[in-house]
Amino acid sequence: MDGNGRWARKKYLPRLVGHNKGLDSVKRVIEYSIKYKISTLTLYAFSTENWKRPVKEIDGLLKLFSQSISSESKKIQNNNIKLKFIGDTSIFSKKLQNKIEIIEKKTIKNKGLNLNIALNYGGRQDIVNAVNSFYLNKKNKTTKITENNINDGLYTNGQSDVDLLIRTGGEKRISNFLLWQMAYTELYFSKKLWPDFDENLFVDALYFFQNSDRKFGAI
């Protein structure tokens, strides 16, 4: 979800206005995912590197996350969405942590779209945590770790690997996002800034994926 700040700057507006506008795109993309029967959608909301941003912007983002959980909770439930936050949320305020815990519990049995919100998430951190959690078990001290062991320790445990990455804003890099899970992901890059991402662009990305020749190392 790249380009909120640049969208605001182009319009001579504060960056937080861009983030608020980006939230509208989040809502639309969730609706598109339901419409086109996407099973799992993961949105990169806040990375482990985003703490380097100005304190005012970080505070505004955290407030936006908290408000969104409250305002969208009923709609998420009504649309049968299973919501999961991936990343280290223990660093956030107790109020935000409680909101996250409550909405995850409320939606855990929902059978519709699996919606992951990556919050204070880093792909390297995810892998390190998986390895560390494996060796915390004393029975594993002398055991050689396997791919299955790492999969079991990831935030996305139980979910399939990523099929398609969509990155907006013109940047062409992964930026520490789901590194393990994207071993064979198709990468779709758009120059459009996230607040301008619409259904036509979403469908273009789906067509791109449908026309990809996925060999997974085979011929």
Structure tokens at 83: 């919501």
The answer to whether 204 is a known catalytic residue is no
- Which residue of the set 4, 20, 50, 198 is catalytic? 50
- Which residue of the set 2, 4, 20, 120 is catalytic? 2
How many residues are there in the chain?
219
| β-bridge partners, 154 | none
The answer to whether 211 is a known catalytic residue is no
With b meaning 16 or more CB within 10 Å and e meaning fewer, what string describes 37-52? ebebbbebbbbbebee
For strands 186-189 and 114-121, give the pairing: unpaired
Burial class of residue 134 (count of CB atoms within 10 Å of its CB; 0-12, 13-18, 19+): middle
Active-site residue numbers? 2, 50
